[in-house]
Amino acid sequence: MKITAKQINDVELKEHALKTIKLIEEEKYEALADEYGYALSFNENPAEVIRKEISQCLEQAGQNATLVSIQNPNVVVKYFEPNDIPLVAVVEYSLAIENGTGTVFVELVVSGEEENCNISVEQISYVFA
């Protein structure tokens, strides 16, 4: 998703995270992929890769594991020092799991320069607790 440099701040980046959380909780993977893409889809259908990775995370969490909605998710925004890539920021959050252990960890990455910036889903992974 294209964003401007003015949108790269804690408040607006957290809003993007909350939007992606809602799309994942509602299993709207097509909408998530259409809006944010998925960096690790490797030329496969991004929505299908997202669905598969969420499913794999839940399988690792336990046989009956499901995602559970949480009221105030902890969203962390971190900024990179200026670099050549150019990576600007990473937005991280964890999704709660019910009937299992661990969490689903999601990273959004902001890249680009000046008015040519993007925010996209970078990675979805399972974290054992």
Residue 14: pLDDT band with limits 50, 70, 90? very high
DSSP conformational letter for 57: H
Total Cβ atoms within 10 A of residue 18: 14
Would you list the domain boundaries of the chain? 2-127
User: pLDDT at residue 129 above 90?
Assistant: no
Average pLDDT, the chain: 96
Contact 84, 69 (CB under 8 A): no
Query: Could you tell me the CA-to-CA distances from 127 to 56, 112, 116 in Å, in that order?
Result: 12, 29, 33
pLDDT at 40: 93
User: pLDDT at residue 104 above 90?
Assistant: yes
Here the tokens at position 123 are 């990675």
Segment 34-91, tens digit of pLDDT = 999 999 999 999 999 999 999 999 999 999 999 999 889 999 999 999 888 899 999 9
DSSP conformational letter for 38: B
pLDDT at 92: 98
Of all helices (H) and strands (E), which one includes residue 50?
Answer: helix 46-61
